[in-house]
A and B are shown apart, each in its own frame.
Chain A
Amino acid sequence: MPTGTVIAIIVLVLVVVIVLWAIMTYNRLIGKRVDCDNAWSQIDVQLKRRYDLIPNLVETVKGYATHERETLEAVIQARQQAINITSDAMHAAEKANAENQLTGALSRLFAVAEQYPDLKANDNFARLQEELASTENRIGFARQHFNDSVGRYEQSRMVFPASIIAGMFNFGQREYFTLEETAQREAPKVSFS
């Protein structure tokens, strides 16, 4: 076989291998980016779950804790505020802040509920309390999963040689879910007065 042909075959094989690798890398990056979007929407699913549970809770508490109008109002108001903020990357910090307020209002409500033995004995209330506690956890874990997904995406995007493909096809940076101000990192104050 003439040397020219050998070189041509080697070059051809190399090109095919590189193209295949590029396609696989591109698809992998797309997959990880979709994972991030999906993980983000999962946070909203859990936030929505909390919005849906709150009216039920308020109704249940109303029947027993007649003197706690203020606390209930605070919960309803915080819920409305949180719903009103659209959930996208632009308003992420604002939204997180509103959700934090809601968590605080709920904590106060549950603290107040301790004073009403009849309410605590109510099956429906116990169930709602468990569901809301779990929902708090779910929101946290959904955010954790989002950050994990972003971490995996960022790693795939930045390692060499996949970074070449990422650069060519504009796989941009994804932001982690963070709380901007230190104040928001603190647990909401629960007053037992």
Chain B
Amino acid sequence: MSNTGSNDPLGPIRGPKGEQGPIPVPGEGKPLPIPGIPGMPGSQGDKPQKPSAQPRPTQRPARKPGPGESDSAFDQRVRERIKAYPGTITYNDLIRKSKRDSAILIVLMVLLAAVFGASIGVIVSVIFGHAGDYAHSYMTGTTHRPADPKFDTATGGPSFFGSIAPILPAILIGGLVGLLVGGGASVWSFYGGANAILRMTHARRITKDDDPVLFNVCEEMAIAGGLPMPKIYIIDDDSLNAFATGRDPEHGVVAITRGLRAKLTRDELQGVMAHELAHIRHYDIRFSMLMATMVGLIVIVSDGFLRAMFYSGAGHRGGARVSTRGGGGGGGRGGGAAIAVIFVIAIILAVLSPIIARLLQMAYSRQREYLADAGAVELTRNPQGLASALSTLACDTAPQKETANRGTAHMYIVNPLKKMRSSGQRKSSAFCSHPPIDDRIARLLALLR
């Protein structure tokens, strides 16, 4: 049994003002958690009092190298990445940065939803609305013009609002149905989602008597964050992972695999628990659910819409009109050409929107991981614990098959499905729900300089 602070009456308080200044290095000069980086050359030339003079850690189990890479290759990458962060960086800087970036991503997502909605509106109005009829009448030479007060005579074509006015009810009803379905789904996941996830991952709730140390570590972190004590679940899986869920701190749940629980030291466990509590504290479950709902709606609407368009034949008719209009609608009929361009742009946007939405969602997810890492340091004031736990997680290569799937992958502390598949070199795909683990470790270690 180890304890983190029995000889230190102040525990984690290392200065008069916890909020300010760079984090004091806990136990000044403790070796870095990654074996193989004894002195972090390259980042210490200007600061002689670095931990470099210290002996290599002995209490930490040596990190096993991942498949296909040597231990030093991983450490080398971490060392390189640390240099990207300024020497004076604090966890408050990281928290501010991540919060700002995720706010920007939410705004972008809302904008995307608006653009997507407008695109669908344009497409619907061109295909099914009177805009098509106008084009049709130009093409066939008939003089039929529906009595539409909003017909814009000045430009010789229908105004945008005029053209969608007749099908507004359809759009509204469709939107309403979409909102109800999406809203119902999110209400369900809001109240019942946590239980469903815990069932899916075969997690079982434990009491303090089952694992007093785990409970104590978690409660210490809850105190540091001013949060109520979350429920603790154990996932019966030997792979290494952990996640948090629950709609608000009062319903917080932290789950950890049996394998990870057994492998970590108390300090590392503290880092992992702090990371999960930071997720709860930042309402990440709520926000990621919001993002998932928006992405889901966009995907469903886009998919259903495009399918309906191409299979019903409406697409062909619409396409024919558009092409004729575009080709022969010159002169006073310029409105037709404009509509054709807008129509094509709208279709492109409608097709691209789900992909862009997915990218935004993943970028958001990565920001929240960075935020939870920084938030964990805010609670523990010890970046080493989490960094060390992450390097242990990084070398776990066995993917979780039975207790994780694509739907739950984003919740875990590291991606349970493709652990270190990208060994060898760093792969930071825009479609990843998690940032590269070496960058996460580098950010944490940058705080120790």
Give the B-binding residues of A (Cβ under 8 A): 35, 38-39, 42, 46, 99-100, 103-104, 106-107, 110, 126-127, 129-134, 136-145, 147-149, 151-152, 155, 176-179, 184-185, 187-188, 190
Contact = CB atoms under 8 A, between A and B. Distances in A.
A61 to B, nearest CB: 16
Contact of B7 (A39, A132, A187): A187
B3 A141 contact: no
A134 B224 contact: no
5 contacts: A103-B6, A131-B216, A136-B5, A176-B16, A188-B9
Contacts of B224: 141-142, 144-145
Given A141-B220, A144-B224, A103 B3 contact: no
Contacts of A132: 6
Interface stretch (B17-25, B154-162, B291-299, B300-308): B17-25
Interface in B1-54: 1, 3-13, 16-20
Contact of A151 (B3, B9, B20): B20
Interface residues of B, number: 31
Given A107-B6, A107-B7, A134-B216, A141 B221 contact: yes
A110 B3 CA distance: 13
A142 B379 CA distance: 10
A134 B220 contact: yes
Interface of B: 1, 3-13, 16-20, 212-213, 216-217, 219-221, 223-226, 378-379, 381
A142 B213 contact: no
Contacts of A187: 7-9
A20 to B, nearest CB: 23
Given A131-B216, A137-B220, A144 B3 contact: no
B19 A137 contact: no
Contact of B223 (A46, A136, A178, A190): A46
Given A133-B3, A145-B225, A151-B19, 18 more contacts: A42-B226, A107-B6, A133-B6, A136-B3, A137-B220, A138-B223, A140-B11, A140-B12, A141-B11, A141-B12, A141-B379, A144-B18, A145-B226, A151-B17, A152-B19, A176-B16, A178-B16, A187-B9
Given A134-B220, A147-B19, A127 B212 contact: yes
Closest 8 CB pairs of A and B: A140-B11, A151-B19, A133-B3, A134-B216, A147-B18, A141-B224, A178-B16, A103-B9
Nearest to A129: B1
A126 B1 contact: yes
A24 to B, nearest CB: 19
A50 to B, nearest CB: 12
B381 A144 contact: yes
Contact of A143 (B10, B212, B217): B10
Contacts of A38: 226
B94 to A, nearest CB: 16
A187 B226 CA distance: 26
Given A100-B9, A141-B224, A134 B3 contact: yes
A8 B17 CA distance: 48
A192 B27 CA distance: 21
A121 B20 CA distance: 44
Q: Interface SS of chain B: helix, strand, loop or mixed? A: loop
Contacts of B18: 144, 147-148, 151, 176
A106 to B, nearest CB: 8
Nearest to A134: B216
Contacts of A100: 9
A184 B9 CA distance: 9
Contacts of B10: 140, 143, 179, 185
A193 to B, nearest CB: 17
Contacts of A178: 16
A70 B378 CA distance: 40
Contacts of B16: 147, 176, 178
A17 to B, nearest CB: 23
A188 B11 CA distance: 12
Contacts of B226: 35, 38-39, 42, 145, 148-149
A46 B4 CA distance: 16
A104 B9 CA distance: 8
Contacts of B220: 134, 137-138, 141
B212 A130 contact: yes
Nearest to B220: A137
Contacts of A151: 17-20
A81 to B, nearest CB: 15
Contacts of B8: 136, 140, 187
A7 B238 CA distance: 71
B6 A110 contact: yes
Contacts of A148: 18-19, 226, 378
Contacts of A126: 1
A188 B9 CA distance: 8
Contact of B216 (A130, A155, A179): A130
Contacts of B378: 148
Contact of B13 (A39, A42, A177): A177
B5 A144 contact: no
A99 B9 contact: yes
B210 to A, nearest CB: 13
A42 B219 CA distance: 13
A130 B219 CA distance: 13
B5 A42 contact: no
Given A35-B226, A130-B213, A143 B13 contact: yes
Contacts of A138: 11, 219-220, 223
